[in-house]
Amino acid sequence: MLTHLSIRNYLLVDSVELDFTPGLTVLTGETGAGKSILVDALGLALGDRAEVGMVRQGAARTEIAAEFTLDDAAGFVAWLDEAGFVADEGTLILRRVIEAGGRSRAFINGSAATLAQLRDAAGFLLDIHGQHAHHALLRPSVQREVLDAYAGAQSLAADVSTAWHAWQAARQRREDAETHGQARQIEREGLTLAVEELRTQGDDLACWDALQIEHARLAHVTTLLEGSQALIEGLDEGDAAVSAQLGVLGGRLAAMRAVDDSLGEIAALLDAASADIAEAVHALRRYAGHLNLDPERLAELDRRMGEMHRLARKHRSQPDALADLLTQFEARLADLAAGDDLDALRTAEDAALARYREIAQALGAERRRAAAELDKTVTAAMHELALAGGHFEVRLETVSEPRAHGLEDVAFLVASHAALPAGPLGKVASGGELSRISLAIQAALSGVAGVPTLIFDEVDVGIGGAVAEAVGRRLAKLGETRQVLVITHLPQVAARGARHLRVVKHTQGACVSSRIEHLDDAARVDEIARMLGGRTITATTRQHAAEMLAG
Find the CATH number of the domain harbouring 510.
3.40.50.300
Question: Considering all CA atoms of the chain, what is the largest pairwise distance in Å, rounded to the nearest integer?
Answer: 131
In a domain, 97, yes or no: yes
Q: What angle do CA 160, 165, 167 make, to 5 degrees?
A: 95
At 237, the pLDDT band (50, 70, 90 cuts) reads: confident
In a domain, 27, yes or no: yes
Q: What angle do CA 72, 438, 426 make, to 5 degrees?
A: 110
343-355 pLDDT, tens per residue?
788 899 999 999 9
| Domain identity same for 115 and 26 | yes
Answer yes or no: is pLDDT of 133 > 50: no
Amino acid of residue 66:
A
DSSP symbols for 170-216: HHHHHHHHHHTHHHHHHHHHHHHHHHHHHHTTGGGGT-HHHHHHHHH
Cα atoms in the 13 Å half-sphere on the side-chain side of 157: 18
| Domain identity same for 331 and 207 | yes
- Number of DSSP helices (H) and strands (E) in the chain, helices first: 18, 15
| Domain identity same for 111 and 228 | no
**Helices 140-150 and 431-445, interaxial angle, to 10°?**
30
In a domain, 48, yes or no: yes
Residue-range definition of the domain harbouring residue 249: 201-338
3-state secondary structure of 53: coil
Amino acid of residue 168:
Q
Instruction: Please identify, among 289, 319, 338, the residue that sits at the C-terminal boundary of a domain.
Output: 338
How many CB atoms neighbour CB 323 within 10 A?
16
pLDDT of residue 167: 96
| Domain identity same for 41 and 116 | yes
In a domain, 548, yes or no: no
In a domain, 22, yes or no: yes
The stretch 212-233 carries a mean pLDDT of 77
In a domain, 394, yes or no: no
| Domain identity same for 210 and 325 | yes
497-526 pLDDT, tens per residue?
999 999 888 776 666 677 888 999 999 999
| Domain identity same for 125 and 222 | no
Q: How many domains does the chain have?
A: 2
- The more confidently predicted of residues 521 and 536 is 521
For the chain, what's the residue count?
A: 551
486-500 pLDDT, tens per residue?
988 889 999 999 999
| Domain identity same for 212 and 318 | yes
Give me the chain's average pLDDT, please: 84
| Domain identity same for 35 and 116 | yes
In a domain, 7, yes or no: yes
> Which range in 23-32, 437-446, 487-496 is most confidently predicted, on average pLDDT?
487-496
Picking from 32, 30, 48, the residue whose alpha carbon sits closest to that of residue 40 is: 48
In a domain, 424, yes or no: no
| Domain identity same for 9 and 126 | yes
At 284, the pLDDT band (50, 70, 90 cuts) reads: confident
Instruction: Please identify, among 315, 338, 361, the residue that sits at the C-terminal boundary of a domain.
Output: 338
| Domain identity same for 6 and 132 | yes
Cα 121 to Cα 434: distance, rounded to the nearest angstrom = 23
| Domain identity same for 131 and 48 | yes
How far, in Å, are 159, 189, 494 from residue 459 at the CA level? 38, 71, 12
| Domain identity same for 132 and 205 | no
